[in-house]
Every structure is written in C-alpha cells, then in structure tokens.
Amino acid sequence: MGLHETKYRGVMGWVDSRVPSLMNAFRVHMAEYYAPKNFNFWYFFGSIALTVLVIQLTSGIFLAMHYKPDSNLAFWSVEFIMREVQGGWFIRYMHSTGASFFFIAVYLHIFRGMLYGSHRKPREIVWIAGSVLFLSLMAESFFGYLLPWGQMSYWGAQVIINLFDSIPLIGPDLSTWIRGDYVIGDATLNRFFALHVIVLPLVLLGVVAAHIFALHDVGSNNPDGIEIKDRLGADGRPLDGIPFHPYYTVHDMYGLGFFFTAYFAIVFFAPEGGGVFLEGNNFLPADPLQTPQHIAPLWYFTPYYSILRATTQGFLIWIAAGALGLGVLTYLSVRGMGRRLLVAGITALVVALLTVPKVQLDAKLWGVVLMGSSTMILFGLPWLDQSPVRSMRFRPLWHRAVLGLFVGAFLVLGYLGMEPPSPARTVVSQIATAVYFGFFALMPWWSRMGQFKPVPDRVRFVAH
C-alpha cells in the first residue's frame, strides 16, 4: 500500500506511516541523541539563545503588524504600539530586552566553547556555523536598531555606515549603495526594515539548523573535553551518554526558568535597563541637523567600537611593532623556504601599510580593519588553538589566567566603549586591544606551553 511500518498508534501512527521523517527526526535529535551526562551551568546558553530567537521572531512579527517603515512615521508608530496597541508595550519591551539578552546568552555560549574546546576537531564546522550566526546576529541587531528612528538609531547608523567610506577606491560608492541615498534617510530605513524582518531572520533560522545538525552529526563535547563515543557499551551507545530527551529537555526547562526570571524582571520592572537596554536619547525623533553630544552603539557592540576608537594615528606604530613581532615568531616557527618567504612578504606588506608614509593607510581604515578582524578572528579559533588537550580543566592553571585576561580585556573595552573618550581612556583601550588580539594571535604558541594534566578515560560526574 506504500505505508511505512510504524510502532505508534492512533493519530501519531497515521502520520508516522505516511511521514516517518517527523518521528525519525525526534528520535535522531532528541530521544536517541546521546549527550554527555556531565553538562554543567555553561551548557544552558545554547537552548537559552534558541529560546530568545523564538521570542524575537514572535514579538517581531507582532511589532511588524503596526510599525511603519517611513522616516516620518516610524518613531511615532513605535509610540503608537506602546500606547494604543493592546499589550503593545509588552511586545515592544520583550523585543528590546530580548535583543540584549540574545547577546548575553551568545557571549556566554561562546565563552563555554572557548573554555571546553568545543571549537576543536571534529567540531570545526559547528564553530564556523556559530561564527556565521554571531556575525548575522550583529547585522540583524544593527539593522533593527535603525528602525525606531530615534536620535541614537540615526546617528549610530550614520557613524557605522560612514566607516565604509574609508575603504580605498570603492568606499564612498559602497556607502551610498548601502544607504540607498547620499545620506541616511527614508531609503535606508525601508531597506533595513526588509533586511531585518525577512532576510536576516531566514539566514539566522537556516544557519541555526545547520549549527545544530552539524553538532548532532558529530556529537556534543563536554566539560572534560573527552569523546564519549570512544567508550561504547554493549548496546552501541556511549557509556557516558544519556538521551537528550527526557534528561536534557527537563534540565533545559529548569535553566529556562532562571532565564525567564531574569528576563521578565527586566521587561516588567526595568525595561530601560538604566539607559543601557533602551537609551534615553532614542526617545528623541531622529534629527539630521542635530548631532548628539555622545554617540555610542548599544552595549553589545561597545567592545568592538572601543577597538575602532582605540586605533589612532599614534597607535599604528604599536600595531606595526606587534605585526612585526608576530611575523618574526611565525617565520621562526614554520619550515620551508616557500612558507617563510610568504610570511616575510605578508609581514613586510602589513608593516609598510602601517608605517611607510606614502603607502600608509589612514588610521580610520585601520580602525575598520581591526574592528572587522576582532570578530572575524573567531573563525580561526579551531586552527589557532594548538593545545594537546581540549578542555581548560586539564590545561596548566596559567592558561585560565590568560583566558581571564582576555575576558577582562573584553569587558574593559565594552565599558570604555559606552563612555565618551578621553586621552587616558584611549590608552587603556589600546592596552586592552593589544591584549585582545595578542590572546588570539599568540595562541598557537601559548596554548602549547606548560604542563598538561592527564585526560581521564571517562567523564567525571557526581550524581545529583
């Protein structure tokens, strides 16, 4: 008859005999997906990020029903949603708070990866999909932030799009093409609306699926960094694995309880987040003729904004020194004349573009390059990390200090990015920028150094 054999009965049996892929997917990805049993607190943030994505999509749909992407109407349509639409204030606050919580979850999720070596072989593609997701999320929130058409929306977008001007040859035309006009205006607003509501959500959904499928194909990592598939039981299942459903579905529900408590506390009691989640200046309609005293992006972009601002003319010589040092180190570490020549050539080119007067690229362009590289460098982590063990738990203790130094640099950059600049603050952010890039650039060397502890056979788990 063409029907598949099914073990289910009733409605489920009827569907399963016709579309077995559904229950098959449930089995492969949930009921028979064996995940390590020693997941800890850091392993909540993936499912939290997924939940926030769903929240953003749903609240976004309802906002889009009332929002008007026209430069004369946009600001007032948001206030209309806040006052006249039933529950509109709730939907708006959920969406604005959700954007910030998305980044909190994602940053902590990335940190987990760095802590336990989730980026390493054989999970490089999971990590690359994740890096693509991170970039897409940044683009999505950048486009979304213009939509309320407030002062900060307008001027923040103005600053960032003007950065593209500094790209040699194509810069100004590129900026005009992105904007759709010579200045940010109605044309820009309309296209950012389309990008924010349709293009990037589709990209996000697609790459999330790829991220999860890539993970499930290879199996999850765990805090001890060992492969649970190396120790299979008589039934062919990992000895240290437990089915994702019901153990981790119920575990994640518990974690989501904490998340929702923090999230809704903000939504109901402090949606402005002290001016950090909803900036006061954005309650003024965009005015192209009045520049705010202090333009800053939202808090989750401030570390990268700090790196951009730290790249002054005076800092270029230090970058050149760092590049030269890195070049020498790499030259001494690679074998073969061909490779060494390549390293020498690239180093010479970079140093020239930083220091030699006629060919020197200006500080603004270098700032853009550094800001871009600070996010792109995440893609390289699987290859930069040369440690013989995966998890931080079995690495020399000073490796934790190095990671702590990096996190500290990131937080300092983030804080300074929210504040107006000053000569002293610029120096501090330059030091932090050096630490940030040094952490990644020197990783092939420092990750190999030190006394590593023996990695156990089986995961360490305490029954609870």
Place of tokens 């640099």: 409
Query: Cα 360 from chain centroid?
Result: 32
Report, in angstroms and rounded to the nearest whole number, the Rg of the chain calculated over CA atoms. 25
For residue 43, the minimal CB distance to other proteins (Å) is 14
Residue 434 Cα distances to 270, 288, 319, 455, angstroms: 35, 36, 8, 33
**Amino acid sitting at position 43:** Y
Q: Is residue 31 within the footprint of other proteins (CB under 8 A)?
A: no
Q: Rank residues 11 and 269 by Cβ distance to other proteins and give the closer one.
A: 269
Nearest one of 411, 154, 103 to 277, comparing CA atoms: 103
Q: Cβ distance 116 to 225 under 8 Å? A: yes
Q: Rank residues 127 and 304 by Cβ distance to other proteins and give the closer one.
A: 304
Number of residues that bind other proteins (CB under 8 A): 62
Stretch of residues binding other proteins (CB under 8 A), selected from 158-166, 178-186, 278-286, 355-363: 278-286
For residue 443, the minimal CB distance to other proteins (Å) is 17
For residue 429, the minimal CB distance to other proteins (Å) is 7
Q: At what angle do helices 316-333 and 337-355 cross, to 10 degrees?
A: 180
Q: Is residue 40 within the footprint of other proteins (CB under 8 A)?
A: no
Q: Rank residues 70 and 165 by Cβ distance to other proteins and give the closer one.
A: 70
- Binding other proteins by CB under 8 A: which of 111, 213, 260, 440? 260
Residues within window 48-107 making contact with other proteins, judged by CB under 8 A: 76, 79-80, 82-84, 89-90, 93
Q: Is residue 222 within the footprint of other proteins (CB under 8 A)?
A: no
Q: At what angle do helices 423-441 and 302-310 cross, to 10 degrees?
A: 110
- Binding other proteins by CB under 8 A: which of 122, 345, 404, 456? 404
Q: Is residue 35 within the footprint of other proteins (CB under 8 A)?
A: no
Q: Is residue 235 within the footprint of other proteins (CB under 8 A)?
A: no
Compute the distance between CA of residue 303 and CA of residue 248 in angstroms, rounded to an integer.
Answer: 33
Residues within window 184-203 making contact with other proteins, judged by CB under 8 A: none
Residues within window 343-402 making contact with other proteins, judged by CB under 8 A: 396-398, 400-401
The 3-state DSSP class for residue 150 equals strand
- Binding other proteins by CB under 8 A: which of 122, 233, 280, 456? 280
Nearest one of 336, 334, 365, 360 to 349, comparing CA atoms: 360
Residue 173 Cα distances to 161, 168, 170, 178, 180, angstroms: 11, 10, 6, 9, 10
Stretch of residues binding other proteins (CB under 8 A), selected from 24-32, 160-168, 264-272, 367-375: 264-272
Report the DSSP beta bridge partners of residue 285: 150
Report the DSSP beta bridge partners of residue 243: 34
Q: Is residue 234 within the footprint of other proteins (CB under 8 A)?
A: no
Burial label for 338, CB within 10 Å (0-12, 13-18, 19+), is: exposed
Residues within window 103-162 making contact with other proteins, judged by CB under 8 A: none
- Binding other proteins by CB under 8 A: which of 200, 432, 434, 441? 432
- How many CB atoms lie under 10 A from the CB of residue 341? 11
- How many CB atoms lie under 10 A from the CB of residue 119? 25
Residues near other proteins, by CB under 8 A: 37, 76, 79-80, 82-84, 89-90, 93, 242, 246-247, 250-251, 253-254, 257-258, 260-261, 264-265, 267-269, 271-272, 274-276, 280-281, 283-285, 396-398, 400-401, 404-405, 408-409, 411-412, 415-416, 419-422, 424-425, 428-429, 431-432, 461, 463-464
